[in-house]
Amino acid sequence: MSLPFSVAVPTVEIVGSDDRFPVRRIFCVGRNYAEHAREMGGSPEREPPFFFSKPADALVEANADIAMPPRTANLHHEIELVVALGSGGRDIAQDRAIETIFGYAVGNDLTRRDLQADAKAAGRPWDMAKGFDASAVISPIRRADEIGHPAKARIWLTVNGEARQEGDIADMIWPVADIVAELSTYVELKAGDLIYSGTPAGVGRIVAGDLVEGGVEGVGTIANRFI
């Protein structure tokens, strides 16, 4: 018997290709820049990273208009370097982790900060604060075999032209290879996985009408109007 419905696999544009990147899972790293860890009330010390997830269908394109999500009065932006995996494995060695990477993109890890604060206070999961519809902005992916593996690059975000976030990916507490290796000790990584690698300081509120723009030098840019 055939099912009366079908489910599409979310995909992301690949720069310079007619193919699209099929997305399996989205993993995110929390507090991976020292100043952001401080602004969120955490420690900037290099402790093991912690991870959370978003559903693959939370993805939204880099230039799309985004409807303000329900059930929040404090929506925040978080600009990030995104890692797209072309292979995976378990217990991947740090010196082999780069081999799993297909390419890189720019992301905005949208967060219902008020729901997150309530969840933290109650000792509850963050799912509704992080994994809501259209909560994972992503630019087209640039292949690593074309741009290499960026280790030092400006990362920035503006709201209505006003600078909000400014940093360098070299300031990540856990570099990309370390993130991939550590995450692979928790789950088996596979081709199609995306990893949002953390955000620098300066996260803040978005309201309806705001134009949020950002990027990572040499990787790409995003520009989304919130409606």
Answer whether residue 36 shows pLDDT above 60: no
Q: Could you read off the pLDDT of 48-101 as tens digits, one per residue?
A: 888 999 999 999 999 999 999 999 999 999 999 999 999 999 999 999 999 999
- Model confidence at 103, pLDDT cuts 50, 70, 90, reads very high
Q: Which 8-state DSSP code applies to residue 141?
A: B
Kindly list the structural domains of the chain, giving each domain's residue range(s) and its CATH number in brackets, ordered by start.
11-225 (3.90.850.10)
Question: Rounded to whole angstroms, what are the CA distances from 71 to 83, 111, 128, 175, 204?
Answer: 30, 12, 9, 34, 17
Asked if 114 and 73 touch (Cβ cutoff 8 Å), the reply is: yes
Number of neighbours of residue 47 by Cβ within 10 angstroms? 12
The half-sphere exposure of 65 on its side-chain side, counting CA atoms within 13 A, is 4
Please compute the mean of the pLDDT values over residues 12-36 and round it to a whole number: 93
pTM of the model: 0.95
CA angle 111, 105, 58 (to 5 degrees): 40
- Model confidence at 158, pLDDT cuts 50, 70, 90, reads very high
Asked if 94 and 75 touch (Cβ cutoff 8 Å), the reply is: no
